[in-house]
Amino acid sequence: MLRNRLFFVMGLLVIASMILTACGTPAPVATEAPAATEPAMTEAPAATEAPAEQASFTTPHPILGDLRVRQALSYCTNKADLIKSVYPLLTEEEQASLVMNTFIPRAHWAYAGDENVTVYEFDAAKGAALLDEAGWTLAEGADFRTNAAGEQLSLKFTTTSAAFRQTWAAIWEAQMAECGVQIIRLHAPASWWFGDTTGIARRDYELGAFAWVGQADPGGQTLYACDQIPLPENGWAGQNAMGWCNELASSNIKVANNTLIKDDRIAAYTIVQQEFTKDVPSIPLFNRTETFATSSDITGFAPAPGQEYYNYNVQEWAKTGSDTVIVGFTQEPASLFTLVEDAFVANIAYQIVRPAQETHLNYDFKATLVKELPTLENGGTTNNDVEVSAGTMVVDADGNVVELAAGVFVNNAAGERVEFTGDPVMMKQLVSRFEIIDGLTWEDGTAVSSADLELNKKISCDPESGATSFIVCEKTASTEFLADAVGYVQTWIPGVQDPLYFVPVWGLYPAHQVVADGRTLADVPAAEWATLPEVAEKPLSYGPYKLVEWVKGEKLVFAANENWVGGAPASPNLVIQIITPESAEGLLLSGEVDILDSTTLAGLSETLKAAADAGDIVTYVEAGGTWEHIDVQLFIR
C-alpha cells in the first residue's frame, strides 16, 4: 500500500534550530551589500594593518572572499538536477516547487518574492564569465581554472556521509567541474560535522553542506545576525559560522524576530533576503521532502507537516505480534546533551525520553506537557506598559539587547520609535506564566518540580555549559519559579515583543538525580555536563520510554517508563538500530528494521515504491521545511 501524501504548499515553516545566541566580536564584513556587478565584498582590514592580538577570522578567504566567485558558484549550480538526483520519482512540477532562492521557501508568507531578490537561475556561461572577471581563467586543454600565479581553483567541500548527500554532492561536484572549479569532497561522520567542538561549530570548512530543520516560524536571528558569529574570543557562541556580517540584514533579522506585527516582520524579512542574495554567504538549494517507510504491521506512526520531530507520538507506535519496534538510524548521535549536540538524530533520541512541552502539528502550536500555552488572548500572558529609566537592560528599536542610555532608540509603549534622552520612557514588557501538567514524574518515581525547571535555566544560561547561544537568557529580565505549582513566571526585558512569546522557555533537568560520584546533578558545575554519562549517555526520563542500554555503534535500547504520566506506551520496547545507508532498504524489506526515517531515506526509490504497491510496506512522503544549502566560509583564521 502506498500512502504518498506529498504537500507542496509550504505553510508556516522554515529555518531553525541548532540553538540560540551570544555576544561576541563579529568578523568585519561589508556593512552595505555590493551590487551584483561589483567585483567583491568590501574587504576586512588586512592582517598586516591590525595589531598582533587581532580577533580570529578577520582575513577574507583568498577565493571565497570575492563576491564574483560566490556568484559564479551560484550560477553554475543546476538545482533542478540536484533535486532530480534525489527525488527522481517526483514530477517535474513537484521537483521545481522545491527550489529555494533564499533561506525561506517560496510559498512561505515571509518569502520576499522572486522580484525582490537576486535569483541565480542556472547559467553556466554567466558563471564562467564571472570567474574570468575574477582572474580565474581556463587554459586551453585544462580541466580546472587557474589564476595569474598559476594556483588552481580548488575548494574543499565538506558534508555528511549520508547517502542522500553523497548523491546530490556528486552531481554538484560535476556541475562545478563544468565551470572549471575543482571540488574536493569530504564526507565526514555526522558526529564530527555536527559536534560541539568540531566541524561547523569550529568553522572548519571552506564550503559546507547541511540542512536546517524547519520549524513553525522563520526565526533566523542566530544564523544571520552579526553578533552571532562564533569565534574563539566569544567561546564559539552563535550559529553564523559563515562569518556573514551585513549590518542592514543583521538589524532587520532582529526586527523580524521582535515584533508582534506580521506586516512589519514581512518587511524586515524581505530586506534580509535581499541582502542575503546580494552577498551570497550561502547557496540555498532545495526543500527536502520528508520520506519515511515502515513495515506494514506498524501502527500509530503518523509524521505530519509542521512537526519537525516525527516521534512526537512515539508512545502510540506498535508492531502487530511483537513487543518491540525497531527504528533504523544511519547516523548515530554523538551525545544526548542536546544543549550542545543538536544533530537531528540526537534530538529524536532525546525526545523519546524527554518529549517537548508543546507540538506544532500542521503549523498549529498546542500544549502537551504544559497546562496551556499562555497567550494574550487567554490571559496567560500580559503585555504591560512599564516605565524604564537609564541603566535598565532593554531591547532597542533595532532588536539589540542594550543598557538604556541617552541616544538609544527604543519603541515606546505606543509603538513609536523614540530616542531616549534621559527621562523615563514607557515601554512594553511581556510576562507569561507556564505551568507543567499534574503527575509528570521522572523514571525513578520522583515528581517533576520547579527545581528541575530552575536547573535547566541555570545550565542553559551558563557559558561554561558549551551552549552555542544565549538569546533567551539575555532577553530574560527575571524568572520566578513557582512554589505552589510546577512552573514559572517568565518576565522579559522591556522591548521584547517576540512573536513566539507563548512557547515554553525552560526545559527540565532532574535536579535531584545522584550521579556516580555521589553529587546531585544540581551541584555539578556546567562545565562538566557535556562529559557526564548521566547527561550525555543516559539522561533520566520523564517520557514514555527510558533509555536502558546504549551499545555505541550498534543500538540504543528503550523500555517503557512505568512512571510515564500518559500510561503504558503501545509497544513495551523501542530500539534505535545503527545501520549503514547501503543496508537500510534491505533491512526494512526483510523485517529486521521496522521504520526508516527521513534522515536515512533520500526519497522514494523504485524498490520502496514497488514494495509499497505490493502491500509489504507503507511509505509517507511529506513536504518539509528542512532545506539543503551550501554555506560559504567567508574568512580564514
- Tell me the three-class secondary structure of 553-612, residue by residue: CCEEEEEECCCCCCCCCCCCEEEEEECCHHHHHHHHHCCCCCEECCCCCCCCCHHHHHHH
Residues 212 and 311 in one domain: no
Cell 487567554 locates to 378
Q: Is residue 46 part of a domain?
A: no
Give the confidence band of 568 by pLDDT, cuts at 50, 70, 90. very high
Q: What is the pLDDT of residue 592?
A: 97
Domain that holds residue 65: 56-287+628-636
Q: Is residue 560 part of a domain?
A: yes
Q: Per-residue pLDDT for 74 more than 90?
A: yes
Query: Taking residues 566-587, what's their average pLDDT?
Result: 97
Give the confidence band of 297 by pLDDT, cuts at 50, 70, 90. very high
Query: Taking residues 173-195, what's their average pLDDT?
Result: 95
Q: How many domains does the chain have?
A: 3
Element (H, E) at 573: strand 573-578
Q: Per-residue pLDDT for 215 more than 80?
A: no
Q: What is the pLDDT of residue 634?
A: 98
Q: What is the pLDDT of residue 239?
A: 93
Q: Convert the pLDDT of each residue in 577-617 to its tens digit.
A: 999 999 999 999 999 999 999 889 878 889 999 999 999 99
Residues 315 and 271 in one domain: no
Q: Is 443 exposed, middle or buried (0-12, 13-18, 19+ CB in 10 A)?
A: buried
Residues 255 and 201 in one domain: yes
Query: Taking residues 60-82, what's their average pLDDT?
Result: 98
Give the confidence band of 257 by pLDDT, cuts at 50, 70, 90. confident
Q: Is residue 522 part of a domain?
A: no
Q: ∠506-251-495 over CA atoms, to 5°? A: 50
Give the confidence band of 314 by pLDDT, cuts at 50, 70, 90. very high
Residues 279 and 331 in one domain: no
Q: Is residue 499 part of a domain?
A: no
91-95, 376-380, 382-386: segment of lowest average pLDDT: 91-95
Quote the percentage of the chain above a pLDDT of 70: 90
The DSSP call for residue 520 is B
5-19, 170-184, 272-286, 288-302: segment of lowest average pLDDT: 5-19
Q: What is the pLDDT of residue 30?
A: 26
Give the confidence band of 309 by pLDDT, cuts at 50, 70, 90. confident
Give the confidence band of 262 by pLDDT, cuts at 50, 70, 90. confident
Residues 127 and 184 in one domain: yes
Query: Taking residues 289-307, what's their average pLDDT?
Result: 89
Q: What is the pLDDT of residue 306?
A: 63
Residues 580 and 488 in one domain: no
Residues 401 and 482 in one domain: yes
Query: Taking residues 150-160, what's their average pLDDT?
Result: 97
Could you give the dihedral angle defined by the CA atoms of residues 147, 152, 158 and 163, in that order, rounded to the nearest 10 degrees?
A: 120
Q: Is residue 594 part of a domain?
A: yes
Q: Is residue 12 part of a domain?
A: no
Decide: 618 and 18 in contact? Cβ < 8 Å. no
Q: Per-residue pLDDT for 311 more than 70?
A: yes
Q: Convert the pLDDT of each residue in 461-515 to its tens digit.
A: 999 998 878 989 999 999 999 999 999 999 999 999 998 899 999 999 999 999 9
Q: What is the pLDDT of residue 260?
A: 85
Q: What is the pLDDT of residue 53?
A: 54
Residues 556 and 617 in one domain: yes
Residues 335 and 460 in one domain: no
Q: Per-residue pLDDT for 341 more than 70?
A: yes
Give the confidence band of 307 by pLDDT, cuts at 50, 70, 90. low
Q: Is residue 1 part of a domain?
A: no
Q: For residue 302, what is the domain's CATH number?
A: 3.40.190.10
Q: What is the pLDDT of residue 26?
A: 31
Q: Give the integer Cα–Cα distance in Å for 452 and 351.
A: 17
Q: Per-residue pLDDT for 328 more than 50?
A: yes
End-to-end CA distance of the chain: 54
Query: Taking residues 202-221, what's their average pLDDT?
Result: 87
Query: Taking residues 396-413, what's their average pLDDT?
Result: 94
Residues 258 and 168 in one domain: yes
Element (H, E) at 479: strand 476-481
Q: Is residue 43 part of a domain?
A: no
Residues 77 and 106 in one domain: yes
Q: What is the pLDDT of residue 108?
A: 84
Decide: 244 and 279 in contact? Cβ < 8 Å. yes
Q: Convert the pLDDT of each residue in 7-54 to its tens digit.
A: 333 333 333 333 322 223 333 222 222 222 222 333 333 333 334 455
HEC letters along 400-458: CEEECCCCCEEECCCCCEEECCCCCEEEEEEEEEEEECCCCECCCCCECCHHHHHHHHH
Residues 381 and 315 in one domain: no
Other beta carbons less than 10 A from residue 344's beta carbon: 22
Query: Taking residues 109-134, what's their average pLDDT?
Result: 97
Quote the percentage of the chain above a pLDDT of 90: 76
| C-alpha to C-alpha distances, 158 to 192, 201, 206, 239, 281, nearest whole angstrom | 11, 13, 8, 17, 16
